[in-house]
Structure 1
Amino acid sequence: MKKLEKIDLYNFELENGKQSVYIPLFYQVFGQPIGDAPVVVVNHALTGNSNVSGENGWWNDLIGENKTINTNRFTVIAFNIPGNGFDGIDKNLISNYQDFTIRDVANIFWEGLFFLNIKDVFSLIGGSLGGAIAWEMTVIQPEKIQNLIPIATDWKATDWVIANVLIQDQILNNSKNPIMDARLHAMLLYRTPQSINQRFLRQKTDNFSKYQIENWLQNHGIKLKNRFQLSAYKLMNHLLKTNDITRNRNSFLELSKNIKANIHIVSVDSDYFFIADENRETYFQLKNNNNVYYHEIKSVHGHDAFLIEFEQLVEILEPIFYKKTKQIYVTT
């Protein structure tokens, strides 16, 4: 695994006016040294981390040598959302999770980029929670990003997202086995009934003690429990409902007029969490005053398709990262 680097932030003022005395910002750099190549910033999702490429890299299908995001051509930087626990240091976990918002995380990430003397980002990309942070980062610094690529996400938390965040929060704070139980519920948001039914076909395990779907869900819960801290889960889940780039600002259309980036909205047609209809509406609102493109992954798998349908995602992303040889297109 690439070395985990750290930036120390002191006396950071949160959106709610409170001050966080110390925030360690951990990150990893892949590909070319900083300053030698265009920068791609990758934001991780709820249970993700900065290890996007190489050993155990969660986006190895997209990022690496001669991959779509080619580490022979780009400098790839991935920050860890503070408090996600990837550094393995318990004292860096965040207990006052309700004090933090996506806007705070976006500002923290910009502090990190400025510390690294990065003033221009070729592409800012993220899926789910990471994509929501990317929207916020773009509004904060609308002239510093060339390509915004939010995937399976939205610029706002809908009532549906807020409702499910509440259910997750209740499970995390009241269950006797909170991480596992919350994960079971979440997995049914990230997939679709069609995906589940086609995969398991009501079959039982080899010893006929339970259905395969039950075994699959419990294994997901156990795996997350073994690698994720409860406080991290509470924080990441809470951040989702704080997603709103218009909060205490102008309207969405007014904010969008300041964005200089090409905006590539990537949705999943079967996403039950960040539904495609919302992304299509965003596209139609923006298409007259921005360089905005809409792409749609066709999949039975729902929200998690951005981690499954790599061939489609590569087809969407390659024209963005290889502009000299391919033209940007719109998938509708």
Structure 2
Amino acid sequence: MVRYYDHTGPFPLELGGRLPDLRIAYHTYGRLNAARDNAVWVCHALTANSDVADWWPHTVEEGRFLDPARHFVVCANILGSHYGTTGPLHVNPATGIPYYKDFPPFTIRDMVRAHRLLADALGIDRIAALVGSSVGGFQAVEWAVMEPERIENLVLIATSAKASPWTIAVDETQRMAIEADATFGQPRDDAGMAGLSAARAIGLLTYRGPRGYNLTQQDREELPAAHRASTYQQYQGEKLCKRYNAYSYYAILNAFDTHDAGRGRGGVAAALNRITARTAVVGITTDIIFTPSEMRELHGMIPRSVYHEIDSPFGHDGFLVEHEQLNDILYPFMNQ
């Protein structure tokens, strides 16, 4: 069941704006033990929510690396999201209507600062394991650099310490699709939906990559009326529109591009050298967003880190699909 933490008073944002108040939606699984040393914090990706068991199949189960019998698993919905934490569809107290496109810009560091408030409220002084994949990994890297003393173990899956020009270009292409929708910017919950659908279809190309598409979307007829790959793109765009909104998607893409663990810290290498957590870095063989070579480079800059690789044809989405391989890597790591 989703829970909420309400932070009273203003929440300043790194880019100069501020929120007059802050609500954080979160889920927990298992119980915090008497020593308060069994907390496992999961940072979620772009359009996921705080219910890890819902979007990450076969992970929050007995015998899995997020075993609620062993761990107190926490996942907080990120700032700007559509799933309960303060975001563009929340009412701006200054105007009495939702923020929509006027939601103040925020960064990955702001997301982490919000998570830190919740961790304090839950009485979690020490996080036994901090787990993040994709944009969730951005948050995990930032938190481990920001508060190295709080994080005992760190798991980084298909992610990076800095948004690359390639990933920023992908995000900009998605933003262009949203901006091309003439309804985007209108004060309506459903504004920009056609643009959001197109943006999601663009994003999916990078999530799965050519091997994933060629494996799963082959036509079954020689001359079909509609290609499977075409209907798949349309379906996935429509599917996201049923559960998300263009303003949150746009705002989080902007936050994605701010990610740079080395900003103000002497560069990425110097920042990562601050991490004291025992760390597992996990790449995916066919990931074209965060390539295996980039993941190995990340591993090389983090002290006390080990590197593993998932073999999957499903690209970046391999971390969601290959749960058996992932568990074989992470269950021993987290339960040593």
Helix, strand or coil for the counterpart of 1:294? strand
CA distance in 2, matches of 1:96, 1:203: 46
Given that 1:37 and 1:73 are in contact with CA atoms closer than 8 Å, whether structure 2 keeps it comes out as no
Match of 2:186 in 1: none
Question: What does 1:23-172 correspond to in 2, within 5 Å?
Answer: 23-33=22-32, 38-53=38-53, 57-87=54-84, 90-91=89-90, 95-96=101-102, 99-172=105-178
What is the letter of the counterpart of residue 268 of structure 1? I
8 Å contact from structure 2 (residues 32, 39) kept in 1 = no
Alignment of 1:1-332 (within 5 A): 2-33=1-32, 38-53=38-53, 57-87=54-84, 90-91=89-90, 95-96=101-102, 99-175=105-181, 177-203=194-220, 208-286=224-302, 290-323=303-336
Q: Give the secondary-structure state (helix, strand or coil) at the position aligned to 2:9.
A: strand
Structure 2: how far apart are the matches of 1:266 and 1:96? 37
TM-score scaled by structure 2? Answer: 0.88
- CA RMSD of the aligned region, Å? 2.1
How far has the Cα of 1:142 moved from its partner? 0.8
C-alpha displacement at 1:9, in angstroms?
A: 4.5
Separation in 1 of the partners of 2:77 and 2:204?
Answer: 22
Please state whether the residue corresponding to 1:191 is helix, strand or coil: helix
- Superposed CA deviations along residues 44-81 of structure 1, whole A, max 9, x for unmatched, are 1101000112xxx1123111233321101110111001
In 2, the alpha carbon distance for the partners of 1:12 and 1:142 equals 23
TM-score, normalised to structure 1's length?
0.89
> Structure 2: how far apart are the matches of 1:142 and 1:284?
18
Change (3 A) 1:121 1:37: closer
Give 2:189's aligned residue.
none
1:158-189 C-alpha deviation (Å, 9 max, x unpaired): 11011111111111222351111111111101
Show structure 1 runs of 5+ residues with no match. 324-332
Contact 1:26/1:82 (<8 A) preserved: no
Closer, same or farther: CA 284–215 of 1 in aligned 2, 3 Å? same
Asked whether the equivalents of residues 18 and 104 of structure 2 are also in contact (C-alpha less than 8 Å), the reply is no
Residue 218 (structure 1) shift:
1.1
Give unpaired runs (5+ residues) of structure 2. Answer: 92-97, 183-193
Helix, strand or coil: the match of 1:28?
strand
Deviation at 1:17, TM superposition (A): 2.9
Cα separation, partners in 2 of 1:302 and 1:125, compared to 1, 3 Å: same
Q: Is the 8 A contact 2:43 2:76 kept in 1?
A: yes
Paired amino acid for 2:308: H
Q: Distance in 1 between matches of 2:102 and 2:145?
A: 26
Contact 2:211-2:313 at 8 Å conserved across structures: yes
Deviations 1:216-252 (A, max 9, x none): 1111111100000111111221121111001122233
- Residues 203 and 104 of structure 1: CA distance in aligned 2, closer, same or farther (over 3 Å): same
Counterpart CA distance in 1 for 2:267 and 2:85 is 40
